[in-house]
């Protein structure tokens, strides 16, 4: 039997009230799942507690601990639940994460109009944000038939409509064994691979509470997905990035994966390995829609005899946090370096 969280809280209160002077019934009398649910939601400030109201700062610190434990970070359902309980925090986060008034003043009202204020936190997810028009059109239709759908449900159902895509990532590595290890375990972003847990916790705390972050902290971390994307063309803080770069073009992925300065830095004597992935399209952050920072840029990439017209949708996309091993279909090894890419405006 499943207990809604509210009923569990009522039951917990009843069972702990002394009756005619008798000791309170131990809370362990509750089913483990109910007790665990109540404790977790109380700790995150999602349920009332007459004995203790955690400060906002403590709530956020506990939330960061939970999303780090799950390794889903800001895609963890607990973060969505927190924002649904604190919808007024969405606008400040949008402003801080994406560094533009366009997001709180123009994008946020569109989300509120279609999905409601409680679900408008979905705009913070860059996988949705880059598909704003399609998502809002689809959501309007879905909510007409499922008016009680949660934000988590909307996100999951929308993702199903997008299918899968084939993308590539080139990497300089020391050996075929290293490539096979990555195929089996997945590819972590540099921020997860090279930085420690303290770094990640401080970064997440600065992102969920940007007003309290010191100037030094703001300087040390890219606050949010938008700032991470803005840093990429400048090759800024790549060792701290939580984004994994991929391309729809295998020739471009191979060339960048071998000749990019970061690749030369990480494995100066390494060989090229090209990771071919079949990935849910939703998991790709495309540089289109509100995340198109290149505007109407024109030109093409020349890679040997291959010409690739500039298309922000296909040239480069980002996978947040890590590439899961089940997405990696195969790994191609190169005995010779690929041609270096050149961009022609």
Where residue 317 sits, what CATH number does that domain have?
3.90.210.10
Residue 276 falls inside a structural domain: yes
> Same domain for 312 and 183?
yes
Q: Both ends of the chain: CA-CA distance in Å?
A: 64
Provide the 3-class DSSP secondary structure of residue 329.
strand
Lowest mean pLDDT among 25-34, 72-81, 235-244, 253-262: 25-34
Residue 81 falls inside a structural domain: no
Q: Phi/psi of residue 211, each to 5°?
A: -65, -30
Residue 118 falls inside a structural domain: no
Look at the chain and report how many structural domains it folds into.
2
Residue 249 falls inside a structural domain: yes
What's the pLDDT score for residue 67? 97
DSSP letter (8 states) at residue 295 = T
Residue 111 falls inside a structural domain: no
Residue 307 falls inside a structural domain: yes
Among 18, 34, 54, the domain boundary falls at 54
Residues 345, 326: Cα–Cα separation, whole Å: 37
pTM above 0.75, yes or no: yes
Residue 176 falls inside a structural domain: yes
| Domain range for 323 | 164-189+242-344
* Residue-wise pLDDT tens digits, 301-327: 999 999 999 999 999 999 999 999 999
* Residue-wise pLDDT tens digits, 199-258: 999 999 999 998 887 777 777 777 789 989 988 888 888 999 999 999 999 999 999 999
Is the model more confident about 12 or about 243? 243
Residue 180 falls inside a structural domain: yes
Residues 333, 47: Cα–Cα separation, whole Å: 53
pLDDT band at 90 (very low <50, low <70, confident <90, very high): very high
């Amino acid at each position: 039997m499943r207990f809604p969280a509210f009923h569990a809280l009522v039951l917990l209160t009843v069972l702990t009230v002394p009756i005619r002077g008798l000791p309170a019934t131990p809370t362990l009398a509750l089913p483990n799942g109910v007790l665990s649910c109540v404790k977790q939601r109380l700790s995150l400030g999602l349920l009332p507690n007459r004995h203790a109201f955690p400060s906002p700062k403590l709530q956020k610190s506990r939330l960061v601990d939970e999303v780090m434990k799950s390794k889903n970070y800001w895609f963890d359902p607990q973060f969505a639940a927190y924002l649904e309980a604190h919808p007024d925090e969405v606008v400040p986060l949008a402003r801080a994460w994406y560094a533009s008034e366009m997001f709180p003043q123009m994008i946020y009202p569109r989300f509120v109009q279609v999905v409601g204020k409680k679900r408008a936190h979905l705009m913070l997810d860059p996988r949705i944000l880059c598909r704003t028009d399609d998502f809002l059109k689809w959501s309007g239709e879905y909510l007409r038939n499922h008016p009680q759908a949660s934000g988590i449900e909307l996100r999951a159902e929308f993702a199903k409509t997008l299918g899968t895509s084939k993308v590539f990532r080139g990497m300089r590595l020391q050996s075929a064994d290293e490539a096979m290890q990555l195929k089996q375990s997945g590819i972590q972003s540099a921020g997860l691979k090279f930085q420690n847990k303290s770094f990640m916790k401080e970064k997440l705390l600065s992102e969920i509470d940007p007003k309290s972050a010191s100037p030094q902290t703001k300087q040390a971390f890219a606050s949010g997905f938008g700032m991470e994307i803005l840093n990429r063309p400048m090759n800024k803080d790549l060792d701290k990035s939580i984004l994994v770069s991929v391309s729809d073009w295998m020739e471009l992925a191979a060339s960048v994966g071998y000749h990019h300065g970061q690749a030369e830095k990480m494995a100066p004597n390494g060989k090229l390995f090209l990771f071919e992935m079949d990935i849910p399209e939703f998991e790709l952050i495309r540089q289109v829609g509100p995340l198109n920072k290149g505007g109407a840029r024109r030109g093409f990439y020349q890679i040997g005899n291959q010409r690739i017209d500039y298309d922000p949708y296909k040239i480069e996309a980002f996978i947040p946090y890590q590439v899961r091993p089940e997405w990696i279909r195969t790994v191609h090894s190169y005995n010779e370096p690929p041609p270096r890419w050149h961009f022609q405006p």
